[in-house]
Amino acid sequence: MSTKTDPGRFFEDFQMGETLVHAVPRTLTEGDQALYVALTGDRSPLHCSAEFARSLGYERETVNDLLVFHMVFGKTVDDVSLNAVANLGYAGLRFLQPVYPGDTVRSVSEVLGKKENSSGKTGIVWVKTTGTNQRGEVVLEYTRWVMVHKKDPATPTGEADAPEVPGAVEASQLHVPGSLDLSGFETWATGGKAFFDDYAVGERIDHVDGMTIEETEHAMATRLYQNTAKVHFDAHAMKDSRFGKRLMYGGHVISVAKALSFNGLQNALGILAFNGGTHAAPTFAGDTLYAWSEILDAQPLEGRDDCGALRVRLVAVKNRDPLAEETPLRVEVDGKQRFHPAVVLELDHWVLMPRRPA
């Protein structure tokens, strides 16, 4: 095999505490924004209307928070998850600076821990990733863990260093851009009627709509994010996997679910943080996604009387309309609580929501 190519890292290749500087910085463009809308159906005016964004104190329309996340995440794949079985979860993710078209993002990761699975064929690797812009400002940071193939399944490594992952992000740790000015906020642009004060802790919002994701759409989205993980691209290799076909990138599932959640959370002005996330089951081309949200908490933000933070559990299910068929988040199986078989995503996150004008 040529030494000029990179086969990607296997479980044994990761070293505790090492820093991974990821290649290929990416300048985000208006074209990326437009394609993201086409692939996900996102309707947030903050990300597609320069005039609306400027009326709130931004320079222009901002790059969708999740598109920034995917671009930063995509840089890490060659070094972290090229040989992944599956991405398992996220924690402690905070968005710290708005990103505008024309900004360039890059990524660096630190290996936090690794643990060999009992099968001996795979292991779990934990990393903390930081994304920065062209000025060196941190735009987001997060911890994630991923299941990776071993290079030599027959030789145990004895690795059992699972780190403590970050807990929920406290409201005091949430970042709101200092330039945000809600004095000119008008609901006609969003079509929304509900403000921060109108949401009740414990409330469930069914987002009504469903979206079927086709083969070309999820493949094109993953290419847009420059995510090169084999499980998403190589149908020939994946025909011999336990699923017999390619998996959809879990981040794209988040994007579609978030786009669906617009109906019911129209006035939300972006994601502030992920407290935690789980890809509960794989999603494939042809699956139809539905979503609901639960309001877990509502917190004021220091120094702001015009907005607050809603803690939201976003749940996505496949091929089952929750409005037509009762679908709990979890069910009991053999005496244990497990995700309902239709649930593919649970995402606990904070969103920024304007307060009702006086």
- What are the distances in angstroms from CA 165 to CA 145, 227, 281, 300? 9, 24, 21, 26
pLDDT digits (tens, 9 = 90+) for 93-152: 999 999 999 999 999 999 999 999 999 999 999 999 999 999 999 999 999 999 999 999
What percent of the chain stands above pLDDT 70? 99
Considering the chain, what is the average pLDDT of its residues?
A: 95
Query: From start to end of the chain, where are the E strands?
Result: 19-21, 26-27, 84-95, 104-116, 122-132, 138-149, 160-161, 204-212, 271-279, 288-301, 304-318, 330-333, 336-339, 343-354
Please state the rounded mean pLDDT for residues 155-167. 92
Domains of the chain: 1-156 (3.10.129.10), 194-358 (3.10.129.10)
- What global pTM score does this model have? 0.94
HSE-up (13 A, CA, CB side) for residue 323: 11
pLDDT digits (tens, 9 = 90+) for 316-337: 999 999 999 999 999 998 889 9
Burial (0-12, 13-18, 19+ Cβ within 10 Å), 201 = exposed
pLDDT digits (tens, 9 = 90+) for 272-321: 999 998 889 999 999 999 999 999 999 999 999 999 999 999 999 999 99
In 140-289, which residue ranges form alpha helices assigned H by DSSP? 215-224, 230-233, 235-238, 250-260
Q: Which of 102, 105, 115, 190 is nearest to 140 (CA)?
A: 105
Please state the rounded mean pLDDT for residues 198-215. 97
pLDDT digits (tens, 9 = 90+) for 42-85: 999 999 999 999 999 999 999 999 999 999 999 999 999 888 88
pLDDT at 277: 87
d(CA 121, CA 339): 25
Three-class secondary structure of residue 163 per DSSP? coil
| Bridge partners (DSSP) listed for residue 122 | 149
Give residue 261's pLDDT band: very low, low, confident or very high (50, 70, 90).
Answer: very high
Q: Which of 78, 343, 98 is nearest to 233 (CA)?
A: 78
- Report which residue type is found at 5: T
Please state the rounded mean pLDDT for residues 238-247. 90
How is residue 353 written in tokens? 């929501």
